[in-house]
């Protein structure tokens, strides 16, 4: 197993983002959600989102959850697959604390999105 570098620059973040969405476009589970997307707009937006997460650049000023609220038929299995593929993309290219941070945040945000979509019970719902 070759020794992989950690994520050091925005270009490294861009490498992850571009590889991930290249796979997503043809993904058997999630490809339909990305069909017809304006990649010229989406890819730089996602690079700025992930740079903000990894390097605290503050470059992304958007509402990450909003478009997902309008996507039909999203279930927990879609998020599990998204996270698995995202982790796989990071692991194929990088290893180290920033790579771990990126994977951890992806999983955490996927959890928040699922709670917002009512796919994952909150503590309140569990108590009810």
- Listed in sequence order, the DSSP H helices in 35-75 are 39-55, 66-69
Asked whether position 30 contacts ligand HEM by CB under 6 A, the answer is yes
The answer to whether 7 and 96 have CB atoms below 8 angstroms apart is yes
Give the binding range for ligand HEM (CB under 6 A) out of 5-13, 92-100, 108-116, 117-125: 108-116
Asked whether position 42 contacts ligand HEM by CB under 6 A, the answer is yes
Structure tokens at 76: 């927990």
The answer to whether 70 and 61 have CB atoms below 8 angstroms apart is no
Question: Which residues make up the interface to ligand HEM (CB under 6 A)?
Answer: 30, 33-34, 37, 42, 45, 49, 62-64, 67-68, 71, 74, 78-79, 82, 106, 109-110, 113
């Amino acid at each position: 197993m070759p020794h992989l570098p950690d994520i050091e620059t925005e270009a490294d973040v861009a490498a992850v983002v571009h590889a991930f969405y290249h796979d997503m476009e043809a993904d058997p589970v999630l490809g339909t959600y990305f069909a017809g997307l304006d990649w010229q707009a989406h890819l730089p937006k996602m690079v700025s989102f992930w740079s903000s997460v990894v390097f605290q650049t503050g470059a992304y000023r958007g509402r990450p959850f909003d478009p997902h609220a309008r996507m039909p038929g999203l279930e927990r299995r879609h998020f599990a697959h998204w996270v698995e593929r995202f982790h796989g993309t990071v692991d194929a290219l990088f290893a180290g604390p920033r790579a771990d941070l990126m994977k951890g945040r992806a999983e955490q945000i996927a959890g928040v999105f699922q709670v917002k979509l009512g796919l994952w019970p909150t503590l309140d719902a569990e108590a009810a």
